[in-house]
Amino acid sequence: MLLLAGLILALLLTIPVRLAIAYYQTPQPQAILTLGGGANRQEFTASFAQFYPSLKIWVSSGLPPREAKAIFHTAGISDQRFHLDYRATDTVTNFTTLVEVFQQQQIHHIFLITSQLHMPRAKAIATVVLGSRGIAFTPVSVPSQLTELEPIDLILRDVVRSLLWLITGYTGSEF
């Protein structure tokens, strides 16, 4: 038990260091990651991406392909620039399914796009999952009419699931 606690503590202490190094070495984002959800997130991303024409875009478990492609094509974004990934089943797996892709592409800093209500949980998970791999993120919130943030217990649950993934490679989504 003491060994496990030590391992978790060591992981938690290295994450801020890896994030600081990533921000220092790569101060500007190199890609865009949009967490799935309604059409408004992908419409926002398509509009946002026009200001960063050299950045590739990943959408994790968003709209069906036909609808997503239509949004990006309407914004003048070519198929070669965006990637639709449907492996994620929840917010934790939005990150765990793509972190290896970002590493393979040598991406060390991303724009993270999701709704403003979902952003606190997304940032907490990104800190653990992306931070553990030395990938920094810059949050960009999609405005929402709703005002109630996600409950803290949901955020804590997903942070624990992210730590579980770091230690075991499993996210707990199977339960």
Judge contact between 162 and 92, C-beta under 8 A.
yes
> In this predicted model, what pLDDT tens digit does every residue of 89-111 receive, in sequence order?
999 999 999 999 999 999 999 99
Q: Domain with 95 in it: what CATH number? A: 3.40.50.620
Enumerate the H helices of 39-151 as residue ranges: 39-49, 65-74, 91-96, 99-104, 119-132
Tell me the whole-structure pTM to 2 decimals: 0.93
If residue 60 lies in a helix (H) or strand (E), which one and from where to where?
Answer: strand 56-60
> In this predicted model, what pLDDT tens digit does every residue of 122-146 receive, in sequence order?
999 999 999 999 999 999 999 988 7
Report how many domains make up the chain: 1
- Does 119 reside within a domain? yes
Domain range enclosing 108: 24-168
- Does 79 reside within a domain? yes
- Count, in order, helices (H) and strands (E) of the chain: 7, 5
d(CA 105, CA 26): 14
- Does 175 reside within a domain? no
